């Protein structure tokens, strides 16, 4: 089963969420979270930090990622690990996979005409709020 990760990166005061505008399928033109593939045999958390650096230029010491939840898709033969964290210090984001930007949190992340993931982004944001994980000391 192929593994993927999704990375919920908040700025230092947790007032904005790092997003990207997809430049290719799936979800071309829609807003999404960053993430990527987990290589066979690779630890999920190590893969999350690797993808974060590759896609955003955010190094491991700039953020502490917490494993929030997983999704398993039996018919698609894949699973998704969701990680969340907030920046310890300001980092200049950069990447060539997708167009990166900081989103305000007052958006309707359940709007499937604007956001990828069939409403999952909205669900994950609500889970972060309920977990209070961003209030804990990193």
- Return the residue matching tokens 């997983």: 70
pLDDT band at 11 (very low <50, low <70, confident <90, very high): very high
pLDDT of residue 136: 61
Q: 60 Cβ partners below 8 Å, 6+ apart?
A: 49, 52, 53
* Domain 2-135 fold: Nucleoside Triphosphate Pyrophosphohydrolase (3.90.79)
Instruction: Please state, in angstroms and rounded to a whole number, the distance separating the CA atoms of residues 30 and 60.
Output: 27
Average pLDDT, the chain: 95
Reference 4, options 127, 107, 101, 116; nearest CA is 116
Residue 118 has pLDDT above 80, yes or no: yes
Write the DSSP symbol of residue 67.
E
CA atoms within 13 A on the CB side of 118: 2
Tokens of 96: 């060539």
**Sign of the alpha-carbon torsion through 128, 131, 132, 138:** negative
Residue 16 above 70 pLDDT? yes
Residue extents of the structural domains in the chain:
2-135
Please report, for residues 3, 107, 110, 116, 132, the alpha-carbon distance to residue 127 in angstroms, rounded to integers and kept in the order given: 21, 16, 13, 17, 9
């Amino acid at each position: 089963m192929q593994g993927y990760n999704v990375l919920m990166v908040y700025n230092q005061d947790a007032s904005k969420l790092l997003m990207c505008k997809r430049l290719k399928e799936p979800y071309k033109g829609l807003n999404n979270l960053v993430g990527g593939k987990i290589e066979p045999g690779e630890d999920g958390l190590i893969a999350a930090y690797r993808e974060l650096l590759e896609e955003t230029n955010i190094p491991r010491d700039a953020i502490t990622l917490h494993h929030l939840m997983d999704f398993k898709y039996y018919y698609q033969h894949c699973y998704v690990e969701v990680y969340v964290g907030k920046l310890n210090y300001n980092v200049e984001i950069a990447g060539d996979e997708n167009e990166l930007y900081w989103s305000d949190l007052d958006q309707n992340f359940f709007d499937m005409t604007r956001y990828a993931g069939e409403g999952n982004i909205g669900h994950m944001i609500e889970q972060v709020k309920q977990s209070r994980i961003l209030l804990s000391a990193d």
